[in-house]
Structure 1
Amino acid sequence: MNPETLPPLLDTTAWCSLQSNLAATGQRRLVLVEGARELSRQWLKALLPALELMKGGLWIGDADDAPDNRLVSIKANQARQWLGQETSVIVWDGWRGNPPDAFAALSGTLKAGGLLFWLMPSLEKWGSFADPDYSRTGLEHDQLHPFAERMARILALDPSVIRVQSGALGAVGLPVLTESVSEFRVTTTSDQQALIHKLVAFGLGRRRRPMVVTADRGRGKSAALGMAAAQLLLQGRRQVLVTAPARDHVNALFAHALESLGTDVIRAEDNRIVTVTGAQIRFLPVRDLLKDRPEAEVVLVDEAAAIPVSLLKQVLLGWPRVAFASTVHGYEGAGRGFAIRFRRILDEKTPQWQAHTLSKPVRWAEGDPLEALISELFLLGADHDSAVGLSDAVAGKVVIEPWQPALASEAELTSAFGLLVDAHYRTTPADLRQWLDDPAARSWRALVNGKTVGVLWGAVEGGLSKELAEQVASGKRRIRGHLLPQSLANHSGFPEAASLRGLRIVRVAVSAQARRLGIGNRLVAAAAERAKQEGLDFTGTSFGGSADLFAFWASCGLEFVRIGLQQEATSGEYPLQMMSAHSDEASALVQQLRARLARHWLTLVPLNWKDLEPKLLAELAAELPPCYRPDAADIQDMKSFGDGHRGFRLMVPVLRELSMTSGFMKWLGAHESAAIWCRAVLQGWSWSDLQSEGLCSGQRGGEDQLRAVIRELMQKGPKL
């Protein structure tokens, strides 16, 4: 028979011995099963019954194709549900798709001794493999896939990878492990013990000394939080609140708290543990926590990086003792972006905050080959090489050049991707794949002395046929990709937005020490110039709105054309969209978009953006084209209001329209009463809410502030 039609020879005893030895040394391994899919399944059917399958193990693929009925069959998009759990075997059917985020996430559920079987074509075919997951992201298969080729190179060179090939005549070569002095066991590490001690001291100590705990995955931070929460109850605290993006994220926390409390527990529910003294640990989703605001001496926030910074700030200021824990490197890609953004708030609001890092792994031994391999494959630990001395003089020598990350060296790619991770709220392994493999991608980098200090990633979008653009605008069709053109066509009501072709800037990042030197502006200018040369109609962007980012994009010459109705799940901010036109058609579209948004602004703001930050709201309103001009009756009303002879409620229509007159919001933006104007006039807040926000002492005090604004406007404001 043809050996290529036979599964490889199998020595189940050797595999069982390998699994035992891996467990004893605290290691895990990737087993790459290459070649014909059906042969690979047959081989696994013969092997798996001999292996330990803790809690059944996992099969990621079609349920009917599972090679062992003990495997729990899940879809790749269910990976998050398994975070915090453990298994000894994962079998991943790569022939059915390989979403990078899910693969990286599930690898972290393998305990010491775990084996991750990956069914795939032979490594030399990965570059042209039609991965079914690509269709989900809008990527095509009519060209080579640099992301997959890069992974294949890494796997081929890694001696820890166990390669099983269909058609092999001999038995699979298994690694010989060096025996350790003592058998690996999962115990509380010295790192964890130090953290527990510090958390207990924090929880019993002075107010306004928040803690931020960071760690790579598998370091036991959630377990430490649970043990510390238990100790706090045993030492007299009555209420410890726990929050996280989802209840599943705190499974380990609750399990370790329950175990630590032991016989002191009188009642254990899904979201609550109550001790015999009536003290309790209680879980609340973050939005419920902020809505109900229950009293508590301590609040613990797990996986904080997956919660919008705006919500974390409210938690920080809402309770006396708050600890935040987050994964720094991981499939979420959010940890470092979170740390950078949130640190600014901590420094400003609670400058005596404390930091603690866990470095020693708990679920596996230090130096575990699988952890290092997954990190390398997906650049989970990508760090930017910041060893560049910069000054204003050096900044003048910055070189801006087009760049292809797929052709870069590993060091260059790692440094550039590290920049994206640092600069943005969430940059994931899936982003890396999109960046490398999308044929519509365009990239630039900024160099100083040959080292990267800035990167820009853009994508060509639009160009839809007139018929398809009409369907998109009417909501009948939604196609993958083309975020900016589709959004403008559908939400703003202009089908031509989807027919025009433009460059959407997906990400732009500049190293911390090179900021404020105009490098970001120069990157955007280079991208826009290239877009013109390509004959594209516009350069645009869509981003989570904040005052500083809006100011940056405005400084790059982009104009505000749309704000989304829903806050982004990752940043908690409303998406802002801005454009710079390069063609007459795009110029006409931008004018139409802005004029229509300006006309609708006063109706949309109180309905959709009541919680938008006043500073950003004022800047957005100031940037829109004016669409009102007060008449003589309006001016007389304003004089009467300023003198205290006309009530606020009757003045609301006039004051709102005043906000859309030429020059008013720009003048108001620098005024000390800008915030109360935005909240009371534009967003329609009640006087009690304004008082709670600290903007006024009550209705009379608030009205007095607004009357003062009008008097000052009439005396020395812009001409009406």
Structure 2
Amino acid sequence: MTDVITPTKLASYKHQLATKQHRSTIFLAGSFQWLSSWLSRVEYLDVSAIDLVFSDQALPFESLSYKNYRHHLGTENKTLLFADSGFNLDALSALSGTLVAGGTCYVWLPDTQSFTNSHFYGYLKRHIASHDDVLLISEKGTDEKDTDEIGTDKKGTDETGAGESDFSELESDDIPSSEVVIPHAIKSGSSEKSPTLDENWLKVDGATQEQQVAISTIVKSLEKPTQRSSVVLTADRGRGKSSTLALALSKLLIASESPIRVVVSAPHRMALGVFFTALAKRLSDAVRQSDCFFWRDHQIEFVPIDGIVREQPKADLLIIDEAAGIPVYLLDKLSEHYAKLLFASTIYGYEGAGKGFTNKFLPLLKRRFKKLTQLHINQPIRWAQNDPLEQFLFDTCLLDAELPELTGEVAIESVSYQTLSGQALADHDKLLKPLLAILVTAHYQTKPSDLKLLLDDSAISVIAQFSGEQLIGVALLAEEGIQDEALAQGVLNGQRRVKGHMVPQALSQQLQIASAISLRYCRVMRIAIHPEIQGHGYGTALLEQVKKHATSLAYDAVATSFAASFNVTKFWLTSGFLPVKLGFSPDASSGEHSLLLLKPLSAEAIALSEFSASEFYDAFCMWLSDEFKSLDYRLVALLLASMPTKFRPELTERQQQKLSAFAQNASLYSMARGAISLWLRIQINTENIESLLPLIAKALMLKTDKQVCQDFGISGKKALYQQFQCLIKDTND
């Protein structure tokens, strides 16, 4: 069928947006055969001008894949073709940020039944229709928009982005007395200036006004070697944040008279591609060897987050890019250890839940540092303000979902609950937006693809917690269980891995408990409470509702898996969940081990949970001196304290004699160590965790005397063993 949009109108559409330094967005709805034909028509598109292609289809272009598309995030392109039958929102959101002003993003909407019948497709079509600057060309006839009207903003704002560009001031109420920097009023804790750091020397050719202010402020804030200081740089995507970090660091290195060792990290190595590319351009004679970057006497080294947490490498400056993709408690650990810190993060976008980062981490950082400087870059560097493509993706993917403030009294006795399907969420944008906002604020790895998952995955459901009409809590649930016998056998044999069934596969294949594979699990993927009312029992109440929901649908068990930090683990253990598996390898971005827990509901699941938990506790104590030797002491103690009485050992009379002999200083520690390790497993509870930590480190994790004394501030070996003896005597008396 002939398209209603003519080549002349298409060219006019692109031209109107290009004159405003904006980018074009064109959706192509139809079959793959029609798409191929449309792309081949030179009057519509010069295929030689296509810079980037993300596709799983047989197109005559070199295509990016899900595995490698992030390598291209630092590039600049004029044309992007997105033709993915699975419609990977993460890739579309990320790659769109590489398009420059005047560029065009072509997005294929497949006509496959699975896609056009999806809730997400209906949601997407409504958003396309509501954005005047987005074009839809259809195989069955075009939803034509009057190109004369393109560029009209329904809200009446200036589309051109003209006017004074300023530094958007962050809310200083969140962090009293911290430094919020704007171009015309840079606050400083000192009027002293290094003679080399005058404004002319700090200028960088090609930097925007906001980038220049950020560069100058970062260098001045961090240049004094003896002063504890931290800088937080935030931005929306496409603002040149990573390049600004590199430019500031290059100036800092050039100005320094003494060698500087810099450790750089991010949730993933690929997130630092732009940073290192920009740094190499500024320091052209630098030498790069693997993860190390050498320039003159200075060294810049990439270290994964888990490596920094575990090994705490020496550094004069620690730089964390995309910090929103890292758990807040880990960032807090790093801020405690290092004297000079530079954090950068995207507030909205595909890199992480930036709002959770600013709301939760910045107050903690203020308590650590008297000198804290906050910077925010608002001005795009590749396109003008109010760009239609950016606005469309923000609105559709809810990248800028703001957490609503709670009004009126919220009482736990009056909360209500609704179980919501993807269809219900797709039809109610007013509910979907606060729901995503709560999830984003609570979780550090929320992505655009989570929206599509919410709307389209039939195994996913949501329990929403309300106070009146206000949404205050969200539980994201997934149904798991492999009922097909042939498929189940393939999993048990290690030959198959079924997407979306993490719990039964972990239990049956990794733990080798075959009966676990066919049970039905309600897995809690995420549970989040509005931050204004956290810590007041609303999470526990929501989890009780999840258990009722699972029971009513005849699930065998409620399950969950997460990066095991102390506070999160405590919440689940207090709610009666049993640990059954702890991953041996820490997660690269969180630095924590993944913990799997069960709350059995059926008789079969009760037997399974008790058996797997018993095996876990027996093996856990053995693994503490090897596989889990770097585990947080408090987490180890918490897991041991949650051990049911039936799983705890008993001391023989002979072991009790050895324990008493050591406590009375009549025998060596080494002679009683076996009895002490058993005694620990018997005596530990949630009330005495802190007092037993040194003994756990020594007797169960086999740390050296020197290490234990260092970790707990004990004066020496003699004082250490006296403390152990007193502890045993006091407990046994």
TM-score using structure 1 length: 0.85
Task: Choose from 26, 29, 40 the match for 1:45.
Answer: 40
Equivalent residues of 2:304, 2:589 under 8 A apart: no
* Per-residue deviation, 1:710: 1.7
Query: How big is the shift at 1:336?
Result: 3.0
Match of 1:112 in 2: 101
Q: State the Cα deviation string for residues 145-175 of structure 1 (Å, max 9, x = none).
A: 2122211211122211122233659999656
Whole-Å separation in 1 of the counterparts to 2:540 and 2:245: 43
Q: Which residue of 1 aligns with 2:317?
A: 298
Q: CA deviation at 1:14?
A: 6.6
Quick check: 1:360–1:366 contact (8 Å CA) kept in 2? yes
Matched, 1:585 2:575: no
- What's the counterpart of residue 250 of structure 2? 230
Could you say what secondary structure the match of 2:418 adopts? strand
The sequence identity of aligned pairs, in percent, is 26
Alignment of 1:276-355 (within 5 A): 278-279=297-298, 281=300, 283-286=302-305, 296-307=315-326, 312-313=331-332, 315-340=334-359, 342-343=361-362, 345-347=364-366, 349-350=368-369, 352-355=371-374
8 Å CA contact 1:239–1:295 kept in 2: the answer is: no
Deviations 1:240-266, CA, capped at 9 Å, x for gaps: 5233345543343344445556xxx54
Q: Which residue of 1 aligns with 2:402?
A: 383
Deviation at 1:638, TM superposition (A): 0.9
SS in 2 for 1:478: coil
The yes-or-no answer on 1:462 pairing with 2:451 is no
Measured in 2, the distance between the counterparts of 1:538 and 1:289 equals: 37
Is contact 1:435-1:441 (8 Å) kept? yes
Q: SS at 1:607's partner residue?
A: coil
Check the 8 A contact 1:230/1:258 in 2, yes or no.
no
Kindly indicate whether residue 80 of structure 2 is the aligned counterpart of residue 90 of structure 1.
yes
Q: Is the 8 A contact 1:566 1:574 kept in 2?
A: yes
Which aligned pairs between 1:91-240 and structure 2 lie closer than 5 A? 91-94=81-84, 96-121=85-110, 128-130=113-115, 144-166=117-139, 174=147, 187-205=206-224, 207-236=227-256, 238-239=259-260
> Counterparts in 2 of 1:180-579, with a 5 A limit?
187-205=206-224, 207-236=227-256, 238-239=259-260, 241=262, 242-257=264-279, 266-267=285-286, 269=288, 278-279=297-298, 281=300, 283-286=302-305, 296-307=315-326, 312-313=331-332, 315-340=334-359, 342-343=361-362, 345-347=364-366, 349-350=368-369, 352-390=371-409, 394-404=411-421, 406-408=423-425, 409-465=428-484, 468-469=487-488, 471-579=490-598
1:656 maps onto 2:642 in alignment: no
TM-superposed deviation, 1:325: 0.5
State the secondary structure of the residue aligned to 1:59: strand
Name 2:650's counterpart in structure 1. Answer: 629
Aligned mates of 2:407, 2:24 — CA distance in 1: 37
Residue deviations 1:433-487, cap 9 Å, x none? 2222222223221112311011112122115256654543453432111222221
- Equivalents in 2 of 1:184, 1:43: separation in Å? 42
Deviations 1:16-73 (A, max 9, x none): 675565444221121111223223223223338965977x60112258513xxxx642
Asked if the contact 2:579–2:597 (Cα under 8 Å) also holds between the matched residues in 1, the reply is yes
**Any idea what SS the aligned residue of 2:463 has?**
strand
SS at match of 2:622: helix
Contact kept, 8 Å, 1:53 with 1:88, in 2: the verdict is no
CA RMSD in angstroms comes to 3.3
Question: Could you state the TM-score of these two structures normalised by the residue count of structure 2?
Answer: 0.84
State the 1:570 CA deviation: 3.7
Partner of 2:729: 711
Distance 1:695 1:423 in 2: 34
- From 56, 59, 63, the counterpart of 1:65: 59
Structure 1 residue 278 displacement after superposition: 4.2
Q: Deviations over 1:585-629 (max 9, x none)?
A: 111112212222222232122232222222221121121233311
Residue type of the alignment partner of 2:109: M
Question: CA distance change for structure 1 residues 643 and 24 in 2, over 3 Å: closer, same or farther?
Answer: farther
Query: Equivalences for 1:669-684 in 2 at 5 Å?
Result: 670=688, 672-684=690-702
Cα distance in 1, alignment partners of residues 559 and 307 from structure 2 = 36
Conserved 8 A contact 2:305-2:591:
no
2:536 maps to a residue whose letter is: L
| Letter of the 2:100 counterpart | K
Please name the residue that 1:76 is paired with. 66
CA contact (8 A) 2:132 2:145 kept: no
The 1:62–1:491 alpha-carbon spacing in structure 2 relative to 1, beyond 3 Å, is closer
Deviation at 1:670, TM superposition (A): 2.3
Per the TM alignment, residue 292 of structure 1 is displaced from its structure 2 partner at its CA by: 7.6
The unaligned stretches of length 5 or more in structure 1 are: 132-143, 716-720
**C-alpha distance in 1 between matches for 2:349 and 2:28:** 25
Which residue of structure 2 lines up, in the alignment, with residue 26 of structure 1? 21
Q: 1:709 to 1:473 in 2, by over 3 A?
A: farther
| Contact kept in structure 2, 1:536 and 1:582, CA below 8 Å | yes
Q: CA deviation at 1:280?
A: 5.6
SS in 2 for 1:91: strand
Counterparts in 2 of 1:257 and 1:35: CA distance versus 1, 3 Å = same
Which residue of structure 2 lines up, in the alignment, with residue 134 of structure 1? none
Q: Unaligned 5+ residue runs, structure 2?
A: 153-158, 166-204
Which of the residues 682, 703, 712 maps onto 1:685? 703
Q: What amino acid is aligned across from residue 160 of structure 1 in structure 2?
A: D
Supply the distance in 2 between the matched residues of 1:231 and 1:22 (Cα, whole angstroms): 37
Partner Cα distance (1:328, 1:490) in 2? 39
* Cα offset, 1:348, TM superposition: 5.0
DSSP-derived class of the 2:400 partner: coil
State how far apart, in whole Å, the 1-side matches of 2:338 and 2:142 are. Answer: 66
Distance 2:151 2:164 in 1: 13
- How far apart in 2 are the matches of 1:658 and 1:692? 24
- 1:526-577 Cα shifts (integer Å, max 9, x gaps): 2211221222222222222122222222333323333222223342222222
Larger proportion of helix: 1
Aligned to 1:647: 668
Instruction: Give the aligned length.
Output: 679
> How far off its partner does 1:308 sit?
5.2
Amino acid at match of 1:634: Q
Tell me the distance in 2 between the aligned counterparts of 1:180 and 1:309.
37
